[in-house]
Chain A
Amino acid sequence: MSNEASAQQLSYIENQASDARVNIELETEGMTLNLGPQHPATHGTLRIIVRLDGEQVVSAEPVMGYMHRGYEKLTEVRTYPQVTTLVNRIDWLGSFANEVPFILAAERLMEVEAPARAQWIRTALFELSRIANVVLFLGDMAVQLGATTPVFYAFRDREFVLNQIESVTGGRFHPNFDRIGGIKDDLPKGWIQETKDVLVRINSFCEEMEDLVVGNEIFQTRTRGIGIIPADTGLAYGLSGANIRSSGVDWDLRRDGGVGLIHDQLDWKVWTHPDGDSFARYWVRLQEVRESCKMVGQILDGIPSGPIMAKVPRIIKVPPGEAYVETENPLGIMGYYVISKGDLVPYRVKIRSASFNNVSITPWVLKGVYVPDVISILASLYFILGDIDR
C-alpha cells in the first residue's frame, strides 16, 4: 500500500470517527407515536404504531382489525339475495360496486346471465359509485394536507351523484339493488337526462380540483417524490387499482378482466403515471373520475331496451361448485371466492378487498419519511376502514 493511499484511508477513518462522535452527541431517544385508533387522519379506526427519531419514521406498523365485523362468517347464515345487504357495507363510499362481484360469482355458479339492459344499467351504477367514491378522495387528500376548502366542494358535488343512485335504487349509500340474473328495477323516468347534467357538474368539479389542488405549488412540493412505490414492490405487496397504475403498471380489470360488465363495449382509456409517488396517485384518480364520466355518458346514450331480469327461480338455490370473480372496484381489486354446496346459503365466502393490501405496504413505504408525510402517503393510498377489516 502506498503512502498516499494510506493517508487517504486514515483521513477517511478519522472523518468517519468524528461523524460518529457527532452522532453520539446528537443522538436522541426514540419515541413511539401511536397514530390511532382514534386519530383525525385515519378515517376511522386504523392504528399505526410509528417509531420516531425526531420527526423521522424509523419503523411503522399498521394494526388492523378494530372494525372487524365478521362478514365472511355472517354470509354463511344468509341466503344469496341477503348477502348483498351485508357486502354493501364493506366499502361504504362506493357500495354498489361491492355487490357486483358477488352477484357475478353467484351467476357464474348458477350459469345464468343477466340480460343486456341489466348489464348496461349495472355498469352505469358501478361507475357512478366509483365517481361518488373517488370524488370524496379528491377532496379528502387536500384536507389531509391542510387545505380545508376542497373537501366541501367534493361533498357538494358527490351529493348529486348520490341523488342519481338513490333515484334508481332507493338508497343513497347502501343500494342493495343488484340481483342474481339482473337488477331489481328499471330506470325511473327522466333519469338519463338528469344524470347527463350531473356528469357535467362532475367534470367541472374535476377542472376545479385541477386548478385548486393539482396546480397548487405547495401541494406539489408536499406530494411529488414522496412515498415512491416502484412497480415491482407494489406488485409484490399486492397493490391494485389506481395505486398500482400510478406506479406505471398498465393493469385494469375492467379492460383485462373480462367479467360480466360491459366495459369492453365502451371507448375509454386506462391512465397510468410513471412516478409512483403521492402526486401520481392523486393524478391517476383524478383522470379516472373523468374516464368514468365518459363511460357513464356513453352508457346513457347507448343503453339497449329489453328485460332487466333473466329467468331465475323464486327461491334461489345455487348448484354446488366454486367460483372466484374479481372486479376493478373504486379502491382496487375486489374479489369473492364463493363455495356452494347446493344450499340456500353459501358454504363459504372469502372476500378479497383492496384496502387490506393497499395498507399492508405502509411498513415499507413509511420507512424514513417525516411525520407529515406519513399522513399524506396514507391519504394518497386511499383506504376505507370497512374495506380493510370487512
Chain B
Amino acid sequence: MTVFNLAIELAYWQQTVIRSILGLVAVLLPAGTLVYLYLFKMMSFMQSRLGPMEAGPYGSLQLLAEVGKFLQKEDLFPRAADRVVFKAAPFVVLASTFLLVLVLPAGPDAWFINIDTGVFLALAVSSISVIGILMAGWGSASKYSLIGGLRAAGQLVAYELPLVLAVMGVVIQAGTLNVQEIVLAQANGEIFGWGGIGNPFIITQFLGFMIFLVAIQAELTQPPFDMPVAESEIVTGYLTEYTGMRFLLFFIGEFATAGIFSALAATFFLGGWYIPGLDPTSNLFNLIGPLVLVGKMLLVSFLIFWFRFTYPRFREDQLQQLAWKVLVPLSLVNIVATGVLKVVF
C-alpha cells in the first residue's frame, strides 16, 4: 500500500475501506465547501444580501439543514414515468463524478490510481453523466424534462471536444498522459532556465486554460451555459420532476463535479498539489498536498462561480456556434502552436 506511506502494512480489505472513505470525502467535501462558500455566501454578498445566517454561526450549518430536509421528503414519481430509468438516472450522474475523482493525485504518494492513461480516463468518464441526464430527461415523461435532457446532451457532446483539445496542449508539453507526471513536469520545469516556481502550464498554456474554463462551465451546465436547466424557460429542465433524495443526488453530483473539474484545471494548469520552494518528492507533500490542491481548486472554482452569478445565458444555437466556430478552432491553433514550439525549444 502506497497511500500515505503508512509505516504499517494493511490488509486488502482495510485498504479498500480506507480508500472508499477517502473517495467519499473527496467527493462530498468539495461539494459541501462549494455550496456553502460560493452558492450560499459569495452569491449573497455579490447580490447585496447576507445569505443564510440562522443555522449555526454565519449559517455554517445551513447545509445540514438542507440535506435533512431533502432526506425527509417523499420519493415521488410522475405517473407516466419510466420508473427504472427515472430511479437510476441520479446514480449514473453520481457514478461519473466518483470515477472522475479517481485520477486526481493529491501528493507524491497520495493517489487512488496512478495509471499512464489518467487524462484519457478522466475525460472519458466525465461524459458518462450525459447518459444519466438523458435518462432523467426521457424517464420523467415531461415535456420540459425532455427538452432539457436533449439540450443537455447536445451541449455536453459539443463541449467535450474543446475540453479534450484544451488538455492536449498540456499533454504535449508534459509529454505524458499520466496525471501525476504532469504535476511533476510542472514542479520540475524551468522558465528559461529559472526553476524558482517550476513551470505551471498556465503560463505557456494560457489559451488552453481559458478554453478549459469555458468548456467545464458548459459541462457543468452553469450560467452562461445553463440552457438544460434554464429555470425561466423550461422550469428546471431534466430536474423538473425530481424531488427529495434523488434531487439531492443530482445536486451533489453537480457541485462535486464542479469541484473536481476545478481540481483538474488546477492540476493541469496550476501545478496541482505542488507549491514552489519544496522538494516535490518530500514526504511532507503527502500531508499538505491535499490542502494545497483544495486551495487551488477553490481559486479556480471562484472564477467559475463568479461567471455563474454574473452572466445571462446563451441560446442553444449561439452556444453551439461558440463551441464549433470559436473554441474548437482556437484549441486546434493552440495544439499546433504548442507542438511547433515543443519541437523548436
Interface residues of A (CB under 8 A from B): 31, 33, 39-41, 55, 142-149, 152-153, 156, 212-213, 216, 218-219, 221-222, 370-375
Closest residue on chain A to residue B224 by CB atoms: A218
Contacts of A213 in B (CB 8 A): 312
Contacts of A153 in B (CB 8 A): 47-48
Partner of B316, one of A31, A372, A375: A372
CB pair A146–B47 under 8 Å, yes or no, is no
Q: Name the distance in Å between A337's Cβ and chain B's nearest Cβ.
A: 36
Contacts of A41 in B (CB 8 A): 232-233
Q: A40-B232, A147-B310 are in contact. Are A372 and B47 (CB under 8 A)?
A: no
CB pair B309–A149 under 8 Å, yes or no, is yes
* B223 within 8 A of partner (CB): yes
* B226 within 8 A of partner (CB): yes
* B28 within 8 A of partner (CB): no
Q: A372-B227, A372-B233 are in contact. Are A216 and B312 (CB under 8 A)?
A: yes
Closest residue on chain B to residue A55 by CB atoms: B316
Closest residue on chain B to residue A146 by CB atoms: B313
CA distance A213 to B310 in the complex (A): 9
Between-chain CB contacts (< 8 Å), 26 pairs: A33-B147, A40-B235, A55-B147, A144-B232, A145-B232, A145-B312, A145-B313, A146-B226, A146-B230, A146-B311, A147-B310, A148-B309, A149-B46, A149-B309, A153-B47, A212-B310, A216-B311, A218-B314, A221-B318, A370-B317, A371-B147, A371-B234, A372-B227, A372-B233, A372-B313, A372-B316
Q: Name the distance in Å between A209's Cβ and chain B's nearest Cβ.
A: 13
Residues B280-313 near A (CB distance < 8 A): 309-313
* B83 within 8 A of partner (CB): no
Contacts of A373 in B (CB 8 A): 315
Closest residue on chain A to residue B47 by CB atoms: A152
CA distance A254 to B317 in the complex (A): 42
Contacts of B223 in A (CB 8 A): 146-148
16 more contacts with CB within 8 A, not counting A39-B235, A152-B48, A370-B316, are A33-B147, A41-B232, A145-B232, A145-B313, A146-B311, A146-B312, A146-B313, A147-B313, A148-B47, A221-B318, A370-B315, A370-B317, A371-B233, A372-B315, A372-B316, A375-B232
CB pair B312–A372 under 8 Å, yes or no, is no
CA distance A216 to B48 in the complex (A): 20
CB pair A147–B312 under 8 Å, yes or no, is yes
* B190 within 8 A of partner (CB): no
Contacts of B317 in A (CB 8 A): 370
CA distance A384 to B325 in the complex (A): 40
Closest residue on chain A to residue B227 by CB atoms: A372
